Amino acid sequence: MEDDNLDPNDQSPTHYQMPDGRWMSFWVASDYRLSEWSYFWVSFPGPEIPPAWYRVYKVETAPPGWKPMKPRKKVYQKTGFDDADDERDGDDNFQLSAAEKLRMGKYRLEVKIRIAERDYEIGGLAFKVLGEHVKAAPPATEAGFSMNRPRCSASAVASLIKLPKLAVRGLSNVALLSGLNAGPNDLYPEYMRVNGQRVAEYPWPGIVLVTLLSYLREKHQITLMKSEHDKVSRLITEKRKVPQFIFTDAHRRAFLAKLDGQFPEPEMRDYFRQYNEVDDPEAGRKMLDGIRALRQSLSTLDENSVILFSIG
């Protein structure tokens, strides 16, 4: 597959029909702002997972030897990627993965699979590594994409929207179709308008609520940034380039009562300053307002609904 647009984060998976009639997909994710690792995936329908190998190399060089692909959980453990999912990718799909540290340049990914004791080599997918990984946290004025310590711009606005649980899959589809398109081509706002209901108002910048989520997790073990829908959260975060999290009825049951507890305003103000490297004397009070907004949002949930915490 050749494409003038070689940013792997804007590419759709490449699909290939295997000799036994099943379809497999393979793709790349490489973003130096997120990680020094470039990730490679193949996805198969069940029930059997055929052995798979890969090779990745700069386009102007000779292909290297083949390397085995592994269950993605093992690859995530190796690279320190935080993921709670197993190898099953929904709809009875299974994923194998690999990861390498690559320098800037244009590369080709090739995949080999074994079906009925015969090996099949699949044509290359071209992609670019666009920059060198920077380990330092981004400034508070820039959007960061860590799902564990999320960041956003100081001007971003937060929203808390209740959706039917059945609408969660549609979030992925609309995000993939829309990406960062603006205007009439961006289907995401319309999808939210049709399917969602705002359940709480928050008058302060979204950066305060984003900081609050990390504070609650680190200081009070209130973990609202992880759920059964982490895969969807990651996808729409990557496509929208701003933090997005999904709160569920499990969060309500586990944490609603805890949000009625005592949260020291000076401690929250100091956390905000350390987290964002910006001093806001009112940050503690604004974070208390955020706790009230989170409590109000979670109180509306049941087993058939979710809350999308969205920035932007």
- Answer whether residue 171 is part of any domain: yes
What 3-state DSSP class applies to 305?
strand
CA distance 56 to 40: 9
Phi/psi at 151 (5° precision): -135, 165
Confidence of residue 186 (pLDDT cuts 50, 70, 90): confident
Strand partners, 101: 37
pLDDT at 250: 95
Q: The domain containing residue 247 runs over which residues?
A: 158-311
pLDDT at 281: 92
Confidence of residue 289 (pLDDT cuts 50, 70, 90): very high
- The verdict on 173 and 100 lying in the same domain is no
CATH of the domain at 162: 3.40.1760
- Answer whether residue 306 is part of any domain: yes
Average confidence (pLDDT) over 12-33: 80
Whether 85 and 71 have beta carbons less than 8 Å apart is answered as: no
Residue-averaged pLDDT of the chain: 82
- The verdict on 202 and 111 lying in the same domain is no
- The verdict on 170 and 298 lying in the same domain is yes
CATH of the domain at 40: 2.60.40.10
pLDDT at 18: 82
pLDDT at 178: 62
Concatenated DSSP letters for 95-161? Answer: EEEEEEE--SEEEEEEEEEEETTEEEEEEEEEEEE-S----SPPPTTS----SSS----TT--EEEE
Taking each helix axis as running N to C, give the angle between helix 283-298 and helix 206-220, from 0 to 180 degrees, rounded to the nearest 10: 80
CA distance 59 to 46: 33
Average confidence (pLDDT) over 288-295: 96
- The verdict on 111 and 222 lying in the same domain is no
Confidence of residue 2 (pLDDT cuts 50, 70, 90): very low
Q: What is the model's pTM? A: 0.54
pLDDT surpasses 70 at 6: no
pLDDT at 184: 58
Looking at the structure of the chain, the number of domains it has is 2
Q: What is the pLDDT of residues 84-93, one digit of tens each?
A: 444 444 444 6
Average confidence (pLDDT) over 226-241: 87
pLDDT at 53: 94
- The verdict on 186 and 109 lying in the same domain is no
Residue that is last in its domain, among 78, 111, 129: 129
- The verdict on 116 and 247 lying in the same domain is no
Average confidence (pLDDT) over 259-287: 92
